[in-house]
Amino acid sequence: MTLAFCACGSSDKPSEEATDEAYAPYWTDEQKATLDSMKQVDDEGYLYEMDYSAEYNLDDIIAEGTKTSPEERAAFQKLYLSESEFDVPEKIYGSCTGFATKDADGHQIMGRNYDWDKDEQVGAVVHIAPKDGYKSVGMTDMGFIGVAKGFNTIEEKECALYAPLFTVDGMNETGLACTVLVLEEDGSKQETGKKTMISGMVVRMLLDRASTVQEAEELLRNYDIVSSMYASREDNELGGSDFHWLVTDKNGDSAIFEIVDNKLVVNKTPVVVEGDIEGFDSMPTADINKNVKIEYPKEDKGYLCVTNFYVSEGYKNTHGEGYWRYQTISKKLEENLNPTTEEAMEYLKDTKYGMNDVDCSVSMRSDGDDPEVESNWPWITVWSGVYNTDDLTLTLCLRENYDKAYTFEVK
């Protein structure tokens, strides 16, 4: 499988000769200050923190997919519109988990596991105070856009300046939190005559401009959303992956937004996944969906959870994943609807990628791989985060190490 995003510069780790003093001649003082603010958080260099003070012209990018400066345009095209491609392994096992509920103090929280390649991924906690938007804290997978540990080369720094546009989960100063999760279906492409927005921009746009779930819905209905994977294909063919979004706010409202039959569908009640998920480890992948039954009771249970299958009623999943993770997280919430931050992190630990993912084990066996061999597990839960919409804090555990937590806040 190939992804049509292109990594800027080399994907190799920076050499010892690389200098931290180098700047591109066209960078503004604000861009330089943004890069200078980058600091390493963990001991191994898998997590950084950045105070983003430069302009990223969200309206221009949404409207045109480009910026005005030739240099910036070239860099953006490398990220979204290049003909170049980089390969990822054909066999990828694992994905993400999210949930929203109230904590033990009655404050709305959002939990999220982000799973991806265990060797390449470098996370960044990005603090932003946009001129015409809400302050926020969010997570960007810098490794996905071609940044290695150290951020030493000009090419990597160029990519780092696009960190806001690749936010995968975050929370703003009003207490709105949101995250995006992948779906194993062809990318969607709405064509109703509205302004077009690449799906990768949704989290950033909502963090900047929405204070409630209702406002988030209104904003999304103003656009035709096109899958990032689809929009970046030179041949304009449908392909890649689709996405859905979990959004929650300080008032306790939550929704899962999906594009189904090119229409925005809003889901506010949890589905029920029935089936003996634990028994799937002896089944071929194609048989999993035959044994999963999804019920739609339309009952408000005070929580929502989401993994990697559609939750919209009437949509038949053909490549759904994450059923056992959904069952696990929903069961935890049924048993304890209002967890503390520590308990919420335990829920994420129970659904981490690790070497305990049932869906992945099934896929491996059907592909002829042995799930007992560690090298067959190229992914990891890169981070687990719990967002508190009341005190505006993010509690983060890194790379499946749940003995150490980092805390950040909306500045």
Helical axes 213-220 vs 202-209, angle rounded to 10°: 130
* pLDDT tens, residue by residue, 258-293: 998 889 999 999 999 987 665 544 444 445 556 778
Question: Radius of gyration (Cα) for the chain, nearest Å?
Answer: 20
The whole-number pLDDT of residue 373 equals 81
pLDDT at 51 > cutoff 80: yes
Task: Give yes or no for a contact between 16 and 152, defined as CB atoms under 8 angstroms apart.
Answer: no
HEC readout, 311-346: CCCCCCCCCCECHHHHHHHHHHHHHCCCCCHHHHHH
Beta carbons within 10 angstroms of residue 107's beta carbon: 16
> Which amino acid would we find at residue 136?
S
Range in 29-43, 78-92, 326-340 the model is least confident about: 78-92
- Judged by average pLDDT, the poorest of 50-59, 159-168, 210-219, 313-322 is 313-322
Q: Above pLDDT 70, what percent of the chain?
A: 77
Distance CA 185, CA 314 (A): 15
Q: State the residue for tokens 């950040």.
A: 408
Tens of pLDDT, residue by residue over 100-149, are 999 999 999 999 999 987 776 789 999 999 988 999 999 999 887 778 78
How big is the CA angle at 159 (ends 158 and 160), to the nearest 5 degrees?
90
Alpha-carbon gap, residue 381 to 401, rounded angstroms? 9
- The pair phi, psi for residue 253, each rounded to 5°, is -80, 140
Cβ atoms of 171 and 203 closer than 8 Å:
no
Distance in angstroms (rounded) separating the CA atoms of residues 42 and 47 = 6
Rounded to an integer, the average pLDDT of 198-213 is 93
pLDDT for the residue 94: 54
Quick one: pLDDT band at residue 380, thresholds 50, 70, 90?
A: confident
d(CA 132, CA 59): 11
Q: Which helix (H) or strand (E) holds 366?
A: helix 358-366
Of 41-55, 190-204, 292-306, 359-373, the poorest mean pLDDT is in 359-373
How remote is the C-alpha of 360 from its chain's centroid? 19
Sorted by sequence, the CB contacts under 8 Å of residue 25 that are 6+ apart come out as none
pLDDT over 60 (residue 93): no
Q: Shortest CA distance to 356 belongs to which of 380, 334, 332? A: 380
Contact yes or no for 405/391 (Cβ under 8 A): no
Residue with the two structure tokens 């190939």: 2
- Predicted model pTM: 0.85
